[in-house]
Chains A and B, each alone.
Chain A
Amino acid sequence: MEKKDIIQSFKDSLFTGLIALALFGPIVGLRTSSKGEGLFITPQWGVVFLLVGLCILGRFLINLNSARKTEITFFSKFTSKFSAITEDKAKHFAITAILFAVVFPFLPFTDRYFMDVAIMILTYIMLGWGLNIVVGLAGLLDLGYVAFYAVGAYSYALIATTFGWSFWICLPLAGVFAAFFGILLGFPVLRLRGDYLAIVTLGFGEIIRIILINWYEVTNGPDGITGIPRPSFFGLPFKRSPDEGETSFHLFFNLEYSTMHRIIFLYYLILVLALITNYFTLKIRKLPVGRAWEALREDEIACKSLGVNPTNTKLTAFAIGAMFGGFAGSFFATRQAFISPESFTFIESAIIVAIVVLGGMGSQTGVVLASIFLIGITEMFRDLEQYRMIAFGGAMVLIMVFKPKGILANRKPTILMHGDKK
């Protein structure tokens, strides 16, 4: 490297330091503290200089690295290798992942906490797969997906607590209700695209939440619904001491009672639901309606000129996406046994959209990786309390910097004329 380059990159890093100083100076440097009656400012210049110094050094190292003019830096090497593995051997990867998911509850290190996190990740994977139909395939940016999750959860909770029907009847009903709401949302927004659609769907998500809060007679308002029935194992409840004339799971199989039974059952339940979502999406993508969704994403005017009915095509995407959101919602309700509007805020929609977009629009495996990455990282830093959202943001920034098109951005054609060449 030439001397000129070094001076240039040194100047550049000093400039970075200047920006860092402007940012950290007021935010970190001036700390307010209350002593006695008044509020005082305590300067923390030491910390500021440390942070600024780190920024200068970091920038300088990055400059040195890029000045070497070797294209493959550590990160891109890592990520390209990573995507090469997942793209070439997508099938092997999927089978391994499913096998791992199946044996996961019985691995030696798996405890209650891991199971809870795994159930949460699987719920987000399922929601991601459901939203992938709307956002990834049909290209309709839906920022109110959580509304369908809420509709599913509330319809399950209300039907189950009112009529006492079993989980397996309420689940499809919740899906149907959510699909109906999907169509309800779909109609007014048919003509909208892009930013405008995003804003209307965002509003729809809020409307549903506010209705849930205010319709006290039905939804019990902010207090939520309690005592939602737990799912049973084909009629066998997970109870320590079953009611008169009833056999519970551990008695039937002659096991010692453990709360883990129910957790493991819930885990397999969401795993199966998620896999059904995935199977369905993979199948329907290869059908005419799936191709029409993708065509609509690519060019709506061209679609019309070829006689594709955009109204029906969009509505099916909304309805099917919403249906899976509803399924996930009823799972959520039965797992928590308590739901309130608090669980269905905009941040949930944002996380699901983030999972779909960062995973790579339309990529099923990408959704899995993004869910594990985003939810897993946020969970790992749970001890940091509110600062864990920084980890979430950091994970998003990392994906955006190194994989701007999403973790897996490659799209495979739905049908091949010449067969697989590889």
Chain B
Amino acid sequence: MSNLLSVENLTMKFGGLTAIDDLSFDAKNNQITSIIGPNGAGKTTVFNCLTGFYKPTNGQMFLHKEDSKISLRKYTDFKIAYVAKVARTFQNIRLFPAMSVLENLLVAQHNELMVASGYSLFGLLNLKTYRDKEQLAVDKAKYWLDIIGLTHRADDNAGDLPYGDQRKLEIVRAMCIEPRLLCLDEPAAGLNPKESAELNKLLKFIKTEKQTGILLIEHDMSVVMGISDHVVVLNYGKKIFEGTADQTKNSKEVIEAYLGVDE
């Protein structure tokens, strides 16, 4: 399996506080790589560096593309999603609540549709080329809605959906930009066991059927241990362990980080 993402010596400092300290790890294509750690370990900061919300103090992040590799440091803001094709979801759900479910998925395909609409010109003239492209975008949205079973609610406001459905919708919305790397920030937070199981199914589907690597921050160990191919454990911004789910479960360092050390 080919390498998708390599993070090298990533360091992020906020004034005197070192949130991430010399972190290096790899993530592979068609695998789920989980980042776990106690609260405040710097997990979300890693995501914010990867997705261009923060500019890291030091270190490199590369996304491998066939033979070449691109540095994620070069892209900030919206270009991370637009050019580098790194998508993310948020710890607190960030849907467009007053817009319909379908519209949420169409905004995710904004850049393709913008070109198809001739930067609004063809769209205003209502040309067939644009209408066809729009139909394709709707079909793509329908494809993802069928997978998460929300097709019947496509025309309802996203904010009116139950919490679990909103989580799933945010994930498929990120998938609509056809990302090479999907970063999920605590997707199972606030889900009941049944919803977590459905989430696992969705993530496994994405992992196997799509050309997408998944990076996952999660506290819910049933999710992490159930689906992760690779686990990176952080504590106080440092990597303390890296390995498969089973190895992590039995690692002394990890247990100490979570439960404390015997005196």
Tell me the A residues contacting B by CB distance below 8 Å: 280, 283-284, 286-289, 291-292, 294-295, 298-299, 301-310, 411, 413-418
> Are A307 and B111 interface neighbours, CB within 8 A?
yes
Indicate which residue in B94, B110, B119, B154 contacts A417 across the interface (CB closer than 8 Å). Answer: B154
Q: Which 8 A-B pairs have the closest CB atoms?
A: A307-B81, A307-B82, A298-B96, A413-B100, A417-B154, A302-B94, A288-B113, A287-B123
**Bound: A326/B251 CA distance, A:** 69
6 A–B pairs (Cβ distance < 8 Å), ordered by A: A284-B124, A288-B113, A288-B114, A288-B123, A291-B99, A307-B111
B106 within 8 A of A: yes
> Are B123 and A310 interface neighbours, CB within 8 A?
no
**Bound: A291/B114 CA distance, A:** 11
**Bound: A158/B6 CA distance, A:** 61
Contacts of A305 in B (CB 8 A): 51, 78, 80-81, 87-90, 94, 174
> Are B138 and A289 interface neighbours, CB within 8 A?
no
B144 nearest CB across to chain A (Å): 12
Interface centre among A287, A298, A304, A305 (most CB of B within 10 A): A305
A108 nearest CB across to chain B (Å): 40
* Given contact pairs A283-B124, A302-B90, A304-B78, A291 touches B110 in the complex (Cβ within 8 A): yes
**Hey, what's the 0/1 contact readout for B62-92 against A, CB within 8 Å counting as 1?**
0000000000000001111110000111100
> Are A306 and B142 interface neighbours, CB within 8 A?
no
B230 within 8 A of A: no
**Hey, what's the 0/1 contact readout for B151-166 against A, CB within 8 Å counting as 1?**
1101100000000000
Chain A's closest residue to B109 (CB) is A288
**Bound: A291/B95 CA distance, A:** 13
**Bound: A113/B125 CA distance, A:** 39
Contacts of B80 in A (CB 8 A): 305, 307
> Are A287 and B117 interface neighbours, CB within 8 A?
yes
Indicate which residue in B53, B99, B151, B155 contacts A294 across the interface (CB closer than 8 Å). Answer: B99
* Given contact pairs A291-B107, A295-B96, A413 touches B155 in the complex (Cβ within 8 A): yes
**Bound: A141/B176 CA distance, A:** 30
Chain B's closest residue to A413 (CB) is B100
* Given contact pairs A291-B107, A295-B107, A418-B155, A307 touches B142 in the complex (Cβ within 8 A): no
**Bound: A306/B123 CA distance, A:** 21
Extra contacts, 15 of them, besides A280-B124, A305-B174 (Cβ < 8 A), are A287-B124, A288-B110, A291-B103, A299-B94, A301-B90, A302-B94, A303-B78, A303-B107, A304-B81, A306-B174, A308-B78, A413-B155, A416-B155, A417-B138, A417-B151
Indicate which residue in A298, A303, A310, A417 contacts B142 across the interface (CB closer than 8 Å). Answer: A417
Contacts of B88 in A (CB 8 A): 305
> Are B138 and A307 interface neighbours, CB within 8 A?
no
> Are A289 and B114 interface neighbours, CB within 8 A?
yes
> Are A414 and B103 interface neighbours, CB within 8 A?
yes
Contacts of B77 in A (CB 8 A): 304, 310
> Are B110 and A301 interface neighbours, CB within 8 A?
no
Contacts of A303 in B (CB 8 A): 78, 107
Chain B's closest residue to A419 (CB) is B155
Chain A's closest residue to B51 (CB) is A305
Chain B's closest residue to A414 (CB) is B103
B97 within 8 A of A: yes
* Given contact pairs A304-B77, A306-B173, A291 touches B97 in the complex (Cβ within 8 A): no
Contacts of B58 in A (CB 8 A): none
> Are A288 and B106 interface neighbours, CB within 8 A?
yes
> Are B154 and A307 interface neighbours, CB within 8 A?
no
> Are A291 and B106 interface neighbours, CB within 8 A?
yes
> Are A306 and B114 interface neighbours, CB within 8 A?
no
Contacts of B90 in A (CB 8 A): 301-302, 305
Chain B's closest residue to A294 (CB) is B99
Contacts of A302 in B (CB 8 A): 90, 94-96
> Are B117 and A288 interface neighbours, CB within 8 A?
yes
